[in-house]
Amino acid sequence: MKSLIRYFFILSIIISNAQTEQTESSTESSVKVTRTQIVKGEVRDKNTDDLLPNAEVVLSDNEGNVLETQIVKEDATFSFKIKCETAYKLEGRKVDFTAESKDFTTSAEADKELKLLISLGKGNIDFVTADTIVEKEVSKLEDIKPDEIAGVLPVEVKITRDKYIPDIHPIYFDYESSYLNKKAKVELQKIVDLMNKYPKMIIESASHTDSNGPDSYNSWMANRRVKRTVEYIIKKGISASRITGRGYGATQLINHCSKNVICTDKEQAMNRRTEFVIIRI
């Protein structure tokens, strides 16, 4: 009897140890080591090939969410630690320069070093569709008069400040950002749906900033916001000939938050917007 009890006691210890080893093995296998790479490079002037210190380089995921931002120093170099087998977007920008972005996807090779050159040029904002660059210039927003407006407006159109506009919420942006968040994309989809419903409709995208920062920077940022919204709509299948845009910087504030006026963050945020004006229905 004692031998039998001893046998079961030893057997229980063996089973317990085996279960412990299996649990530890399972735990170890569930902890995956993240394999990483490094992307580095420098920012240069596209025309002169000079280094561009103080330029901003932004690393984002493939949905446009900002992961990390760096302001390059005198050597104009940047470096980001990134994951393997992941899609990213790298964008360089600087006041008075047209921003440049590059999409790339990392390989499975760990500890690999990628090198990218960001070249920034000067000039007007470009709206890109497929492989074609379309440059558009429009008159001042207040001078645009809608053509062929029907006697009875579509239910999706309203009049605000003597302008015909789509009945959607403005597209709002975070401070010093031109990235489209989920709420912005919902409203932009409404624009796409409206333009598909009315195939002759032509719309202007008008982007604005708050009053913080120099006028030149605000103008640049507003143009970036125009570019983001127009590009999004074109990528959804709307012809580039039907959507135009212009950045107004801080010249058309919708509240009292002008320069040197103390305002809350919420009040300032109201001015960081893109609105749409219907030129033709």
State whether 43 and 148 are in the same domain.
Answer: no
Q: Is residue 143, in this structure, part of any structural domain at all? A: yes
Give the CATH number of the domain where residue 138 resides: 3.30.1330.60
Q: Which residue has the tokens 């170890």?
A: 28
Q: Is residue 9, in this structure, part of any structural domain at all? A: no
Q: Is residue 16, in this structure, part of any structural domain at all? A: no
State whether 46 and 97 are in the same domain.
Answer: yes
Q: Is residue 28, in this structure, part of any structural domain at all? A: no
Report the candidate in 239, 238, 274 with the shortest Cα–Cα distance to residue 254.
274
Per residue in 150-207, pLDDT tens? Answer: 556 677 777 776 678 888 888 898 888 888 888 899 999 999 999 999 888 888 888 8
State whether 103 and 152 are in the same domain.
Answer: no
Tens digit of each residue's pLDDT, the chain (281 residues): 555 555 555 556 555 655 555 555 554 444 556 789 999 999 988 778 889 998 888 898 877 788 898 989 999 999 999 999 898 888 888 877 777 778 888 888 888 888 888 888 764 433 333 223 233 333 333 344 454 455 566 777 777 766 788 888 888 988 888 888 888 999 999 999 999 998 888 888 888 999 888 888 888 888 888 888 888 898 899 888 888 888 888 898 989 998 888 889 889 889 999 988 888 77
What residues make up the domain containing 175? 127-280
Give the CATH number of the domain where residue 83 resides: 2.60.40.10
Q: Is residue 87, in this structure, part of any structural domain at all? A: yes
Rounded to whole angstroms, the Cα distance separating 190 from 206 reads: 16
State whether 265 and 162 are in the same domain.
Answer: yes
Residue 100 CA, chain-centre distance (Å), reads 13
The structure's pTM equals 0.49
State whether 86 and 111 are in the same domain.
Answer: yes
